[in-house]
Amino acid sequence: MVSAISTTTAATAAATSTAAGMSPAASANYDTFLKMLTTQLKNQDPLNPMEGTDFAVQLATFSGVEQQAQTNKLLQQMIAQSGAGLGQLAEWIGKEVRTTEPVWFGDTALTLDIAPDSRADGVTLVVMNESGREVLREEIGPGEGQIDWFGRDDAGQKLADGRYSFVIESSRAGEVISEVAAGAYARVAEAEVSDKGVELNLEGGGSVLASQIEALRDPG
């Protein structure tokens, strides 16, 4: 019997600790649950006490239900804060978004948005792989706008399929005067609400938050 009571005391202490970090409504529910535990303990048969494991099971069950309720509430809040319901999220699927995060390069050219420093007399496109290592440098000349990047090295060979990011290096009289990330377009494969906000998963892997998107367009 001593074992059952000590186990129950531990379970009650755990419940009290959990309730301290919850919302007022959830804490009130835990208070009710603790009163139920205390009543059970006072009215049980001393010669046949309830096992401590039974109390632990009750606590775990209640905690699981309460956690699920809190999760559902949080999800609803995130959807409301993002201003996008599931129907609106579906509209992202198949669209192309411009991002400076690494994007997938395979059999088709990528569209890059180039905006070098206006003072530059020389512009270099610096290509980096997914791990951030520089793999290619291309002189593209002054001017801004969109270009198609075919991913060819100095020998004309196609770079390996993978995720790449881009930096525009502007120079004047042989000296680098600015370095800025270049946006690339990638197609959205999935849109979901995460604890960070609306998150877009891109074809070929990788993801980007909707708040970080610079532009949106139809493919092609």
> Are 172 and 77 within 8 A, CB to CB?
no
* pLDDT for the residue numbered 51: 60
For 102-184, CATH gives: 2.60.40.4070
* pLDDT for the residue numbered 99: 94
* Domain spans, the chain: 80-98+185-217, 102-184
* pLDDT for the residue numbered 105: 96
d(CA 34, CA 142): 72
- Where the chain has pLDDT below 70, the residues are 1-31, 33-34, 37, 41, 45-87, 220
* pLDDT for the residue numbered 8: 44
Strands (DSSP E) along 44-196, which ranges?
96-99, 103-105, 110-114, 122-129, 134-139, 145-149, 162-172, 175-194
CA 111 to chain centre: 25
